[in-house]
Each structure stands twice: as C-alpha cells, then as structure tokens.
Amino acid sequence: MKRIPSIMLKKPILLGSITFVVNLFISSIPVLILHEKHLEQNKNMFSISTLLDNQHLLEQQAIVNSALFYSFLFSITLSILIVFLTTFLKKSYLEVENLSHYDGLTKLYNRLMFMEIFQKEIQKVKRTKNHLFLVILDIDDFKPINDTYGHLVGDDAIKTTADTLQRLLRESDTIARFGGDEFIICIVDPDKEAASTIVNRILNEFNHKMIPVIRNNEIQDLQINLSIGYTAYKNEDDFKTMLQRADQALYISKEAGKNTATYIA
C-alpha cells in the first residue's frame, strides 16, 4: 500500500483532472499531426482557392472534429472513473491503515506504531534540550476482574482506563495500548519533572476511578487502580533499554503493593 502515490489517496479530483489532461493530450496530438500532414498534401495538390472549397478537405475536417470530440468524451469519462476508483481505494487504504496503526478496542495507537513514534522522538531529543520519558502502566488485578465479572467488563475497564488517560494527558504526549491491560506513554518536555507531575495526576485520578458493573443482578462499583513504572532517556538509550527499565520499575510498583508508581533513572 505504501507504493500507492499519496496523490491517489489525498486528492482524487486532482488525479482525475491530471488523467483527463494527459489522456486528452495523448489522444488528440496524433489526430492533429495527421490532419496537419493531410493539409500539406492538399496544398501541394490544389491551389489555395480550390483548397478552400475542397469537399474532400471538409470531409476530412469533419472526421478530425469527430475524433477530437470522442477523444474529449473518452478522457472525461476516464477521469470520472479514476476519481471514483481513487476515492474507493482511499477509503480502503484508510481502513487498513487504521487496523495497522490503531488498537481496535481503545482506538489508541498500537504497540508497533508507538515504537515507531518513540524511535523518532529519541532522534529528536538528541538534538534538543528536552527530556524524554517512557511510562508503562497496567490495571491492578485485571485477571480477577475478568474471572469475576467476565470479559465484557474487562473490556469496559480497559476502555475506561484508555479514555481517562487520554483526558489526563496533553496533546504533546503519546499514548498506546501496549497489549492486554498494559498502556505505554511517551512524554517529551523541557521540564525534568514533567513525567512525575503527569504520573501523580494519573494516580490521583485512579484513586477514585469506578465503573458500574452488574453482579448477582445488583449494580456494583468496580474500583480501577493502576501500577506505574517510568524512566528517562539517557545517552545511548534506545526503546528496548528504556522499556527494560520501565518494566523493572513497574515490577517494583507491583511488589510494593500496587496502586503506586516507581521511577528508575
């Protein structure tokens, strides 16, 4: 799909217009060249006065006009078909792109897309004075939620977590669903305390985050808590090394009793 020119995906009408002009040019030029040659032949055979009244020449001109008209008609028909085809391809491409870049349940970026974005941020931060942070978090006791309330409630917990995290983050922050009940966040900021501020904001919000569930025909409130691990970029780091430290920090948070955050430099 990447080989499809971007013009086909972004500007179907422009592509149709280009198709019309190019096809009209290609189909008309041979007709005009042959007509010109025919005129030269007639000039050699007849005087100018005779040429103007030449019935054969008039017939040839009618044929040329007819050929040009059908060339125009064919070109505009082809361009309309190209516009419709390109519009269909654009829609199909965007659907495939959605599947390849976004998580189906939460509509967040998926793991592969996040990794691609994060690698680019590493390259950028090398040229600036910004600080780059990697934050990984997951829902505490998620398996018991699935086992007790069912997978639909588990999905609701994941979607509620995703929506809440998006609301708490800034536009400049990047979040993705990393897999299962895990989420991962990229934070870039000139302030070295930016990640701590955001992490604390997340913890405070989830200290009282509830979702309504039905159990034994009764509506209950299910508490959602998070454990968080995060780290900052150091020289020669890549995504893998930062993820290892963030994972280690997350493990420490789990061992410390969950519903907390751990930072590893």
Write out pLDDT tens, residues 84-114: 777 766 666 666 666 678 998 999 999 999 9
Residue among 158, 56, 38, 33 at smallest CA distance from 108: 158
- pLDDT at residue 12 above 80? no
Report the predicted TM-score, pTM, of the whole model to 2 decimal places.
Answer: 0.68
- Tell me the pLDDT tens digit for each residue of 18-59: 776 776 677 667 666 665 665 565 555 555 545 455 565 566
- Which range (5-19, 179-193, 236-250) has the least confidence? 5-19
pLDDT at position 131: 96
Q: Are 249 and 229 in contact (CB under 8 A)?
A: yes
Q: Which two tokens stand for residue 30?
A: 């041979």
The CATH class for the domain spanning 111-264 reads alpha beta
Share of the chain above pLDDT 70, in %: 72
Domain spans of the chain? Answer: 6-100, 111-264
Residue among 176, 12, 177, 179 at smallest CA distance from 94: 12
Residue among 235, 226, 222 at smallest CA distance from 265: 235
- Tell me the pLDDT tens digit for each residue of 231-256: 999 988 999 999 999 999 999 999 99
Instruction: Count Cβ atoms within 10 A of the Cβ of residue 3 and give its class: 0-12 exposed, 13-18 middle, 19 or more buried.
Output: exposed
Q: Are 135 and 228 in contact (CB under 8 A)?
A: yes
Q: Are 264 and 229 in contact (CB under 8 A)?
A: yes
Q: Are 231 and 238 in contact (CB under 8 A)?
A: no
